C-alpha cells in the first residue's frame, strides 16, 4: 500500500534524494525559495515528454517568482539522463532542473505517490512548497491528461499574493466574474468587525467583502492566461 500523503499546511518531509545533479536534501536544498515538485509516471513516454518541454520553457517564469522545479519518477538516474539528452537532441529543448531518481520507490512511497495499481509507476502529481518548507498545494492528474503549467504559475503567484497582502483570491483570479482582479477580505472575527466592514470595504454583505490590490500583481498572471488562450 502507498504511504500516507503529506497534507496541505504540513512541512515537506525531510529526505535525501538522488537526482540528475547529484545527492541533495529536501526541503533544505531550496531553503528561502518556493519549489514545485512534480512526479510523472515514466520517462520516455509521450505525455510526460510534453510536460517536461512545457516546464522547461517556463522555467525562467517560475524563477522570477523565486520558485524552483524538481521532477520525480521511479526511473533510474541513467534513464533520466538519457531521456533529457533525447529531449535536447530531438526536440531542441534543454531541461534545466533536476529530476529525482527513485527506482526503489522509497521517495514516492513517503510522499504517497505510488500508483494504486502499480508500484512501478508514480502518479502524475504536484506539490507546491513555500519558502518556509510548508506544503501549500497538492494536485493530482490522471495519466492520460497532461498538466497546465501556466495554471501552476498562476497558483504560485496567487499564493504569494495571499501571503503578501493577507487576503484570499476568488475563482479564476484575476478575472473573476464578480470582483475582477480584486482580493477577498478574510472573514470577520468579531461582531464589531462584521458591522464595520461595509464602511471599510466594498461588500455584497458583511461576510463577502473585497478590496483592491496593486494592478501589477494581476498583470503577471494575465500574461500566463494569455498564453493559455493562444
| Band (117; pLDDT cuts 50, 70, 90) | low
**What's the grid cell of residue 170?**
476568488
| Domain 159-229 bears CATH identifier 3.30.1020.10 | yes
Above 50 in pLDDT, residue 1? no
Pick the range with the lowest mean pLDDT from 52-66, 189-203, 216-230: 216-230
Above 90 in pLDDT, residue 143? no
The residue-averaged pLDDT of 113-131 equals 82
Cα–chain center distance at 65? 12
**What's the grid cell of residue 168?**
484570499
Query: Among all residues, which ones are annotated catalytic?
Result: 48
**What's the grid cell of residue 146?**
497532461
Q: Where are the beta strands (DSSP E) in 3-51?
A: 15-19, 22-26, 34-39
The superfamily (CATH) of domain 15-145 is: Glutaredoxin (3.40.30.10)
Name the residue ranges covered by the structural domains of the chain: 15-145, 159-229
> pLDDT for 15-65, tens place per residue?
999 999 999 999 999 999 999 999 999 999 999 999 999 999 999 999 999
Q: Cβ neighbours of residue 208 under 8 Å, at least 6 residues apart? A: 184
Q: What is the pLDDT of residue 134?
A: 98
> pLDDT for 7-17, tens place per residue?
999 999 999 99
Q: What is the pLDDT of residue 96?
A: 98
Q: What percent of the chain has pLDDT over 70?
A: 94
The residue-averaged pLDDT of 106-127 equals 82
Q: How far is CA 185 from CA 15, 176, 179, in A?
A: 37, 15, 12
Amino acid at each position: 500500500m502507498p504511504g500516507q500523503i503529506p497534507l496541505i499546511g504540513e512541512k515537506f518531509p525531510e529526505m535525501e534524494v538522488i537526482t540528475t545533479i547529484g545527492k541533495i536534501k529536501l526541503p533544505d536544498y531550496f531553503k528561502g525559495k518556493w519549489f514545485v515538485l512534480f512526479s510523472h509516471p515514466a520517462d520516455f513516454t509521450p505525455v510526460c515528454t510534453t510536460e517536461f518541454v512545457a516546464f522547461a520553457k517556463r522555467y525562467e517564469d517560475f524563477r522570477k517568482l523565486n520558485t524552483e522545479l524538481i521532477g520525480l519518477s521511479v526511473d533510474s538516474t541513467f534513464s533520466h539522463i538519457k531521456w533529457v539528452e533525447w529531449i535536447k537532441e530531438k526536440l531542441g529543448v534543454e531541461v534545466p532542473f533536476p529530476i529525482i531518481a527513485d527506482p526503489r520507490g522509497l521517495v514516492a512511497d513517503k510522499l504517497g505517490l505510488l500508483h494504486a495499481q502499480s508500484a512501478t509507476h508514480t502518479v502524475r502529481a504536484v506539490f507546491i512548497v513555500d519558502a518556509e518548507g510548508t506544503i501549500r498545494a497538492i494536485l493530482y492528474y490522471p495519466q492520460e491528461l497532461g498538466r497546465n503549467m501556466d495554471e501552476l504559475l498562476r497558483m504560485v503567484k496567487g499564493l504569494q499574493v495571499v501571503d503578501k497582502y493577507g487576503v484570499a483570491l476568488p475563482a479564476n483570479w484575476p478575472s473573476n466574474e464578480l470582483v475582477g482582479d480584486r482580493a477577498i477580505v478574510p472573514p470577520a472575527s468579531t461582531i464589531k468587525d462584521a458591522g464595520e466592514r461595509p464602511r471599510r470595504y466594498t461588500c455584497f454583505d458583511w461576510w463577502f467583502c473585497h478590496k483592491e490590490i496593486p494592478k501589477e500583481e494581476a498583470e503577471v498572471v494575465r500574461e500566463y492566461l494569455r498564453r493559455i488562450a493562444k
